[in-house]
Amino acid sequence: MAKITLKEIAERLNLSPSTISKALNDSYEISEKTKKKVKEFAQEHNYQPNPLAKYLKLGKTNNIGVLLPSIRTPFAAQLLQYLHQSAIYNSYNIILMQSIDNEKDEERALITLTNQGVDGILIAPVSETSNLQLLSSIHANHCPVVVFDRIHYNLDTHKIGIDNMKSTYMAAEELIKINRKNIMVLCGKNLGVTQYRLEGYQKALKDYSIPIKEENIIHIDYSKSLTTIDESLKEIITGRMCSDDAPNAILGTTETLTTRVLGVLADLKIQVPKEIAVIGFSNIEFANSLNPALSTVHQPTEEMASTALQLLLDLINSKKERSQIDFQTILLETSIQLRKSTALT
pLDDT at 52 over 60: no
* pLDDT for 345: 64
pLDDT at 46 over 90: no
* pLDDT for 58: 55
Choice among 25-29, 204-208, 216-220, 227-231 with the minimum mean pLDDT: 25-29
> The pTM is what?
0.80
* pLDDT for 286: 85
With a pLDDT cut of 70, the percent of the chain lying above it is 96
When pLDDT is averaged across residues 215-225 and rounded to a whole number, the result is 91
pLDDT tens string 100-118? 989 999 999 999 999 988 9
Asked, colleague to colleague, whether 62-162+301-334 and 164-299+336-342 share their fold, the answer is: yes
* pLDDT for 1: 47
For 164-299+336-342, CATH gives 3.40.50.2300
The rounded distance, in Å, linking the Cα atoms of 305 and 325 is 21
* pLDDT for 21: 81
pLDDT at 167 over 50: yes
pLDDT at 191 over 90: no
pLDDT band per the 50, 70, 90 thresholds, residue 204: very high
CATH 3.40.50.2300 fits 62-162+301-334, yes or no: yes
When pLDDT is averaged across residues 129-143 and rounded to a whole number, the result is 94
User: Where exactly are the structural domains of the chain?
Assistant: 6-49, 62-162+301-334, 164-299+336-342
